[in-house]
Structure 1
């Protein structure tokens, strides 16, 4: 495990879910390898993702807060097991299912308040008298993708760090994968006990912020720079989109802020209709003018009665 996850994101331990998400997005935008060429940026980005994947999931965050760096070894239903051990199911001598006293609440850290996980789980299985197989816990991790990678899909290699993990996984990402979508890797979760099957590993897709594209579900929003004459006279111009270059028709008299909808050109959808692409017109003026250009603009200014500040 890397350094403390809260420290990695630069948030206090009592941070809200919104504060954690905002911190992640801010840091991801700064350290994503597509925008930061510093060799250390990729490792920092992985550290940020690892911290966010744990702290953004309430149940996982609760285990991390309680058990510290050993949280991955604790089953997801540990609270139910503690509750069961505090009742009639307690083992001999008034001890609960984790081998501790009835009703005891375990906290992370060292000293007397710490946890011996071997005793904890050994006590659980021994107290319940379980001799049969115990399934492993499902686990969750994040899969960071760019907008283009999510659009195209394809095979990706994922390397995860943690107890009992080595090497990487080849993951098939469906075209049109959206933020928050989960990809299941059967049998790659926590190890079972007593020949019990391993749990599953769920990869949660997180699409990194993009300097041009903004996603809204399967819809894609992208700025469309145009010249003053293209906006005034109308034109057909090229537009770079995640799926390739598109031709966009600009109606005459288009002003900055006008949205042009291209149906079906958003994120693909393997199980239904694709999203749409919205190109937002942005009228751009030349940063400098040649003598003839200046003359023509002056002629236009003298000839035109258009006043954008006058209310119709």
Structure 2
């Protein structure tokens, strides 16, 4: 990723969360590897994905802005010198040429593993080069962060999607049912290579769920719109409706109006507790493509005897 994640997304440092998401999606739609074979486009998409993954997290963004982490989300090395350590207040070896215990120094530089060897040792991570010489150490590889966009139904139902990592490896990633926008999927051992005998890091996939014109999410509930004909709305009917589990026959009550919602219990999304939400089917009365003379004449006769004002309650409520 570029050293400046804001530049990778083409936004300013004051960009809002919505502006970050809009910029990322614009790049994804133009440069995603599934849409083009252009290597430069792939590089732009890779940089934008890593940048968005870093900046969309408010805490990570703030730490990057303060210079605490770099553009890859890794801690910036703190420059420390042995002289600072040796002259620190309370150091028993301050001002003396006694180098008997470096454990705190290596713990500071390499983490607790650097001090694991105890007094006078370089820790378990160091490999002896014979005659007391240290020649290498083991370090776990870095975690690599990416953004993965999946379609709504794959996120809702669960499934697999194929991705290509920057090193060229192709993986089939399992998407759990009920995956949410912003959820992270961890691929163990698919990150940066370790040093020495250190294990490889992980690949962290931050999921972006694409919008779907036919499905809406409301927590663990889903909402769809079902067109019904004029006669079905008046007389009632049994019609087929799509659900996450496949089509079902739905009973439309007689006299149904547009906007009425029918509830299908337990057919929504799988929640964190394993239980599923509900599916709400919103009815929309669709007029016939052509209103012929017979229908028009019938309605005129019906209106003469049964006219009503559907806006009456709204007008009274507005006074």
SS at match of 1:301: helix
Q: 1:181 to 1:298 in 2, by over 3 A?
A: same
Task: Give the match for residue 160 of structure 1.
Answer: 165
SS at match of 1:71: coil
Task: Give the match for residue 107 of structure 1.
Answer: none
Q: Which of these residues, 200, 209, 212, is aligned with residue 210 of structure 1? A: 212
- CA deviation profile, 1:46-67 (whole Å, cap 9, x unmatched): 7765543232134554676688
SS at match of 1:293: helix
Instruction: Indicate if the aligned counterparts of 2:239 and 2:249 stay in contact, CA closer than 8 A.
Output: yes
Task: Give the match for residue 274 of structure 1.
Answer: 276
Structure number with higher relative contact order (C-alpha < 8 Å, ≥ 6 residues apart): 1
2:93 is aligned with 1:91: no
Q: Which of these residues, 243, 246, 249, is aligned with residue 245 of structure 2? A: 243
Task: Give the match for residue 150 of structure 1.
Answer: 155
Unpaired runs of 5+ residues, structure 2, are 86-108, 116-121, 127-136
Task: Give the match for residue 11 of structure 1.
Answer: 11
Question: Aligned partners of 1:213, 1:8: CA distance in 2, in Å?
Answer: 32
How far residue 146 of structure 1 moved from its aligned partner, in angstroms, is 0.7
How far residue 9 of structure 1 moved from its aligned partner, in angstroms, is 4.6
Question: Aligned partners of 1:50, 1:4: CA distance in 2, in Å?
Answer: 11
Question: Aligned partners of 1:308, 1:190: CA distance in 2, in Å?
Answer: 65
Task: Give the match for residue 143 of structure 2.
Answer: 138
How far residue 220 of structure 1 moved from its aligned partner, in angstroms, is 1.0
Q: 1:28 to 1:176 in 2, by over 3 A?
A: farther
SS at match of 1:254: coil
SS at match of 1:149: helix
Task: Give the match for residue 102 of structure 1.
Answer: none
- CA deviation profile, 1:22-76 (whole Å, cap 9, x unmatched): 5556x4897699xxx9869996877765543232134554676688xx733x63x
Q: 1:273 to 1:31 in 2, by over 3 A?
A: farther
Unpaired runs of 5+ residues, structure 1, are 96-123
Larger gyration radius, structure 1 or structure 2: 2
How far residue 243 of structure 1 moved from its aligned partner, in angstroms, is 3.3
Task: Give the match for residue 220 of structure 1.
Answer: 222
Equivalent pairs counted in the alignment come to 269
How far residue 263 of structure 1 moved from its aligned partner, in angstroms, is 0.9
- CA deviation profile, 1:214-236 (whole Å, cap 9, x unmatched): 11233111112122332232222
Instruction: Indicate if the aligned counterparts of 1:28 and 1:209 stay in contact, CA closer than 8 A.
Output: no
Task: Give the match for residue 175 of structure 2.
Answer: 173
